[in-house]
């Protein structure tokens, strides 16, 4: 397993729409392991392939903080089937080190995807893990959590965002 290099805000790959995955082979299985490893080493609870420079439809989720005993997993070609309710909370992203913003998301999500063994899966999650599933799904669509911020909030952090874009990854710390 290997820790992959993270891509930060300003990298065009974060705005790419990720391509569907057609083959679930050994190469993809290794990439999935690396994605999980990178997420854990960087203390993230989710990590999308775009964030390590590959615009393909896979992301890692670490549910261990929420559901005891559940191991980190990947979702391949996920489709959001349904969302409901509302939750408010702080949200961050490994591509924006140190930036946390209050964000409203649905409380519950139903997602269908393929697992790393090639089997179709259907997951229903609430709370924090629902938030992660939706945040990471956005990455596959080239969408970032700062896109949800109010105009005013965006204006307030714009200077720092520009520095992050210019390569200062410590700007929010
Ligand atoms: Ni993110």
Can you give the residue range of the structural domain that contains 38? 12-165
Structure tokens at 26: 């050994």
Please check whether residue 102 lies inside any domain of the structure.
Answer: yes
Q: Name the domain count of the chain.
A: 1
Around ion ligand 1, which residues have CB less than 5 A away?
A: 93
The CATH number covering residue 98 comes to: 3.90.45.10
22, 33, 136, 170: the active-site residue: 136
Please check whether residue 161 lies inside any domain of the structure.
Answer: yes
| Ligand 1 centroid distance, CA of 110 (Å) | 19
Residue labelled with tokens 């397993």 = 1
Share of the chain above pLDDT 90, in %: 95
* Model pLDDT for residues 122-134, shown as the tens digit of each residue: 999 999 999 999 9
Please check whether residue 64 lies inside any domain of the structure.
Answer: yes
| Ligand 1 centroid distance, CA of 155 (Å) | 20
Please, what is the Cα angle at 108 between 107 and 114, to 5 degrees? 140
Please check whether residue 2 lies inside any domain of the structure.
Answer: no
Q: Is 136 among the residues known to form the active site?
A: yes
Please check whether residue 173 lies inside any domain of the structure.
Answer: no
| Ligand 1 centroid distance, CA of 164 (Å) | 15
| Ligand 1 centroid distance, CA of 141 (Å) | 12
Say what the pTM is.
0.97
User: Which residues have C-beta within 8 Å of that of residue 91, sequence separation ≥ 6?
Assistant: 100, 101, 102, 103, 105, 131, 135, 145
Please check whether residue 1 lies inside any domain of the structure.
Answer: no
CB 74 within 8 Å of CB 39: no
* Model pLDDT for residues 40-91, shown as the tens digit of each residue: 999 999 999 999 999 999 999 999 876 677 899 999 999 999 999 999 999 9
Please check whether residue 58 lies inside any domain of the structure.
Answer: yes
| Ligand 1 centroid distance, CA of 117 (Å) | 25
Please check whether residue 4 lies inside any domain of the structure.
Answer: no
Query: Average pLDDT of 146-153?
Result: 97
């Amino acid at each position: 397993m290997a820790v992959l290099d993270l891509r930060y805000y300003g990298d065009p790959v974060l705005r790419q729409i990720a391509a569907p995955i057609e083959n679930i082979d050994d190469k993809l299985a290794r990439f999935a392991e690396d994605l999980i490893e990178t997420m854990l080493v960087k203390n993230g609870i989710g990590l999308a392939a775009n964030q390590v420079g590959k615009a393909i439809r896979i992301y890692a989720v670490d549910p261990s903080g929420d559901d005891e005993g559940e191991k980190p997993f990947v979702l391949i070609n996920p489709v959001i089937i349904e969302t409901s309710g509302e939750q408010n909370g702080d949200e961050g992203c490994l591509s924006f080190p140190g930036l946390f913003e209050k964000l409203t998301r649905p409380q519950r999500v139903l997602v269908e995807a393929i697992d790393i063994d090639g089997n179709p899966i259907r997951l229903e999650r609430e709370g924090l893990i629902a938030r992660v599933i939706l945040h990471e799904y956005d990455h596959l669509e080239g969408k970032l959590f700062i896109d949800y911020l109010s105009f005013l909030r965006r204006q307030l952090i714009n200077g720092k965002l520009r520095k992050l874009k210019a390569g200062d990854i410590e700007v929010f710390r």
